[in-house]
């Protein structure tokens, strides 16, 4: 319990001191939009991601369970009605993994729980240019845009992990890369990546639709830094999403990002069997009657098996 309190305190202390902003505004999770903020100079957003895993074990032992959490804050700015600039960063990322309490008959006790927390990493800087728009006075119509961004190679600012009877701290100022308590360093240097995207958007009172083609290129980090703690998305992926407003304050829809990066692209790898497959789609419910604002709830399955893993993604959006 003492180790868990220390880890939570380290991450929470950082959360209270550093603001963060979003790289691009968006309406449908996982799909960049061609729109720039229409009803204000910028769009704010806050994201919470929760993931639960059940890792099958031996019949006489039971399953290992894991819970992941990630929190980000964001903002993007409109410039001269056709440009948008911003950056984003992950504030907190944590994982708790608990093995089964029982062991095989005659076997020694297994290792204890694994706890990990990281703060301030995954910085991305980018911009968007919207050369085409055919909108009415309410902001409904068609738009087209292109965007680009870069993710520099930096370590998380702070981090701590605990496994069995050992505790380790790491991050940007920890010196040379060190092996983690369970292998690769969860606080190692993030891989450098660049992004290019072509986007198209349609808005009406009932329907909201976004499509995009996103190209991501990854540059390998120096071997001395070890492997990146993030999943690498390298290649071209189509994205698409649609929302239908059932009432003025309720909309339902879905998002598809294929083999590209999901909304939680900067979540540190959890090391759960099957999680490397990644998610390709999610189902969305949005609450709120004001365009470009609202609270999004999206559910998906990290391993492709709803009986073994479920992710809940929550995002609040507002324009000012």
User: To which residue do tokens 């999610």 refer?
Assistant: 282
Q: How far apart are CA 117 and CA 4, in angstroms?
A: 9
Q: How far apart are CA 45 and CA 294, in angstroms?
A: 10
Determine the pLDDT at residue 122. 87
Segment 109-151, tens digit of pLDDT: 556 788 999 999 988 888 999 999 999 988 899 999 999 999 9
* 74: helix, strand or coil: strand
Q: What phi and psi, each to the nearest 5 degrees, are found at residue 4?
A: -65, -40
Segment 168-190, tens digit of pLDDT: 888 888 766 677 877 778 888 88
Distances, alpha carbon 93 to alpha carbons 50, 127, 281, 286, in Å: 10, 25, 22, 24
Number of neighbouring beta carbons within 10 Å of residue 205: 10
Q: Is the dihedral of CA 33, 38, 41, 44 positive or negative?
A: negative
pTM of the model: 0.83
Distance from the Cα of residue 303 to its chain's centroid: 16
Determine the pLDDT at residue 4. 42
Q: What phi and psi, each to the nearest 5 degrees, are found at residue 262?
A: -80, 180
Phi/psi region, residue 199 (left: phi>0; alpha: psi -120 to 50; beta: rest), is: beta
């Amino acid at each position: 319990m003492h180790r868990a309190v220390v880890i939570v305190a380290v991450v929470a202390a950082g959360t209270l001191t550093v603001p963060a902003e979003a790289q691009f505004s968006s309406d449908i999770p996982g799909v960049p939009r061609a729109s720039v903020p229409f009803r204000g100079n910028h769009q704010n957003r806050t994201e919470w991601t929760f993931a639960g895993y059940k890792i099958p074990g031996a019949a006489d032992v039971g399953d290992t369970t894991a819970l992941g959490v990630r929190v980000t804050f964001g903002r993007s700015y409109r410039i001269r009605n056709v440009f948008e600039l911003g950056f984003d960063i992950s504030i907190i990322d944590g994982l708790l993994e608990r093995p089964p309490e029982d062991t095989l008959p005659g076997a020694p006790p297994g290792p204890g729980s694994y706890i990990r927390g990281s703060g301030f990493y995954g910085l991305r800087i980018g911009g968007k240019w919207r050369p085409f728009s055919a909108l009415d006075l309410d902001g409904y119509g068609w738009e087209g845009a292109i965007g680009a961004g870069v993710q520099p190679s930096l370590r998380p600012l702070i981090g701590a992990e605990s496994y069995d009877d050992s505790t380790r701290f790491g991050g940007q100022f920890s010196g040379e890369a060190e092996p983690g308590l369970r292998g690769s360093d969860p606080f190692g240097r993030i891989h450098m990546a660049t992004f290019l995207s072509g986007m198209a958007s349609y808005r009406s009172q009932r329907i909201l639709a976004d499509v995009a083609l996103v190209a991501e290129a990854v540059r390998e980090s120096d071997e001395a830094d070890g492997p990146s703690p993030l999943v690498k998305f390298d290649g071209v992926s189509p994205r698409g999403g649609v929302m239908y407003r059932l009432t003025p304050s309720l909309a339902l829809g879905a998002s598809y990002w294929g083999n590209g990066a999901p909304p939680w692209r900067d979540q540190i790898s959890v090391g759960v069997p099957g999680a490397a497959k990644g998610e390709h789609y999610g189902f969305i419910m949005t609450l709120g009657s004001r365009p470009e604002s609202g609270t999004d709830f999206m559910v998906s399955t990290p391993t492709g098996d709803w009986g073994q893993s479920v992710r809940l993604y929550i995002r609040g959006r507002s324009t000012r």
